[in-house]
């Protein structure tokens, strides 16, 4: 999962120019039905009881990556084909986007379905 361009720029400024960096208080996983890019988020799922889920990372980063240490569960999903994820600093709105990526395989939901991601299924990495 690559880092979003704005977040990469912020980290580089912090590392090489001693600019202040504000770590997010939490990271939320948004589900998308279209491909995000380094500069543009994917089309976020809407409808049903869909809501971004907070990503828990209890283990320290290792070898340039970190993964979720608790399952992520989205209940009462709308009809959707989820192909990508975007990681944000808040549970809603167009806030600071951190990382983005494509799922290994699309996940199609019917109205009311539950969609879950196992421990270790969402990994953010510095490539």
**Whole-structure pTM value:** 0.94
- 55's tokens: 């990503």
pLDDT in tens, 47-76: 999 999 999 998 888 888 999 999 999 999
From residue 26, give the alpha-carbon distance in Å to each of 73, 76, 113, 120, 123.
17, 23, 26, 17, 15
pLDDT in tens, 80-106: 999 999 999 999 987 899 999 999 999
- Domain boundaries in the chain? 5-125
CA 42 and chain centroid, separation: 11
CA-to-CA distance for 78 and 110, rounded, in angstroms? 6
- CA dist 88 and 54 (Å) reads 9
């Amino acid at each position: 999962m690559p880092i979003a361009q704005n977040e990469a720029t912020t980290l580089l400024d912090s590392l090489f120019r001693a600019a202040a960096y504000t770590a997010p208080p939490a990271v939320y996983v948004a589900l998308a039905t279209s491909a995000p890019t380094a500069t543009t988020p994917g089309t976020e799922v809407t409808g049903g009881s869909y809501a971004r889920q907070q990503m828990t990372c209890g283990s320290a980063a290792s070898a340039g990556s970190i993964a979720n240490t608790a399952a992520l569960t989205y209940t009462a999903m709308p009809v959707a084909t989820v192909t990508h994820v975007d990681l944000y600093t808040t549970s809603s709105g167009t806030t600071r986007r951190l990382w983005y990526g494509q799922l290994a395989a699309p996940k199609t939901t019917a109205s009311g379905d539950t969609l879950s991601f196992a421990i270790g299924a969402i990994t953010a990495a510095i490539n």
